[in-house]
Amino acid sequence: MEKILREIAVEGLTLEEYELGNLDVVLQQKTRQLDTLFKKKALERVVVQFYTNHFNKLIMEEEFEKFLPLFKDIKADINKFEEKTNYIFINVNPAPNHALLYFQQVIEKSLKKVWIKDYCYVLEQRGETLLELGKGFHTHIIIEKTPEKPYSQCIKELGRSFSKVCDTSNFHLYSGAIIKESDINKRREYILGVKNDTQKHLKQQMDIIWRKTEYLKTFYGNSQIGLKDN
C-alpha cells in the first residue's frame, strides 16, 4: 500500500516540489497526506453505507417515526401521496417447501381483511419446460384498500400474513408498492395480459398448461379492478 501511495505521490508532484531538492522528504510528506486523505474518504464511505443500510431497514419496516427530524417532511409527502390512491401492488414468492394449495389458502385468508375493498390476483410459475412445470410458483396481487387505511399499515399487515410462507423482510420474496391511479390499467394488464418482456412469453405459455394441470383459474377476484378509460 505504501508503495502505491508513493507512486501516486510521484505523479502528483508539482514543479516547485521537484525543485526543492530533497525529493525523499517531499515524497514522505505527500505519501502521509495521501494516506490520510484516502483513510478519510474510506471512512466517509463507510459512514454513508451505514446510514444507507440503516434507513433502508427503517423503510422496509415502515418505522418512519425513527427517522431524523429532517425526514419528517418526506413522511408528510408520502402521506399526501397515499391520499391520492387506494391501490396497492403485492408480490409474494413462497419458500419452495410450501405446497401450492397451502399457499393459495394463505392468499385467500390474507385478502379477507376488512380494509380490502376489492382485489385481483394471479398465480404464476417460472418453469420454461414441461419438466420444470410449476417451479417457482408465486403471486401478483392488485388490491383496492379503503381510503382511511394508511398504505404503510397495509403492507405491514399483509407482511405478517404472508410471513407464513416466506421471509417478508426479503424484498425479493415479498414486496408492496403504491399504484398511481394513472397506472392501474398498466398493472392490471401486466398480470392479466401478455407481458412486454418477450423472454417471459415461454413462461406464460407454461403458465396456461400448469394452471390446467393444477385446476387453477386464470385469475381470482375482479379482473376489472380499477378500470379506467385512459
For residue 190, the model assigns a pLDDT of 87
> In this prediction, what percent of the chain has a pLDDT beyond 90?
45
* CB-CB contact of 26 with 15 (8 Å): no
Predicted confidence (pLDDT) per residue in 123-171, tens digit: 999 999 999 999 999 999 999 999 999 998 999 999 999 999 999 999 8
For residue 52, the model assigns a pLDDT of 75
Q: Which residues contact 191 (CB under 8 A, 6 or more apart)?
A: 120, 121, 122, 140, 142, 219
* CA dist 185 → 34, 35, 226 (Å): 56, 56, 7
User: Cell digits for 28?
Assistant: 514522505
Task: Name the average pLDDT for the chain.
Answer: 78
Q: In this structure, what is the dihedral angle of CA atoms 159, 162, 163, 166, given to the nearest 10 degrees?
A: -120
What are the contacts of 3-6 at 24+ separation with CB within 8 A?
A: 5/31, 5/34, 5/35, 5/38, 6/31
Alpha carbons 71 and 58: distance in angstroms, whole number: 12
Residue 141: phi, psi to the nearest 5?
A: -130, 135
User: Domain segments of the chain: what residues?
Assistant: 2-59, 86-221
pLDDT band of 24, cuts 50, 70, 90: low
Alpha carbons 172 and 150: distance in angstroms, whole number: 23
Query: Cα 180 vs. chain centroid, distance in angstroms?
Result: 17
Alpha carbons 138 and 94: distance in angstroms, whole number: 6
Burial class (CB in 10 A: 0-12, 13-18, 19+), 133: middle
Range ranked top by mean pLDDT from 83-92, 98-107, 149-158, 202-211: 98-107
Predicted confidence (pLDDT) per residue in 47-87, tens digit: 777 777 776 766 665 555 555 555 555 555 555 554 468 99
- Strand partners for 124: 138
Alpha carbons 138 and 122: distance in angstroms, whole number: 8
pTM: 0.63
In 3-state terms, what secondary structure has residue 192? Answer: helix
- Please check whether the domain covering 86-221 is classified as CATH 1.20.1410: no
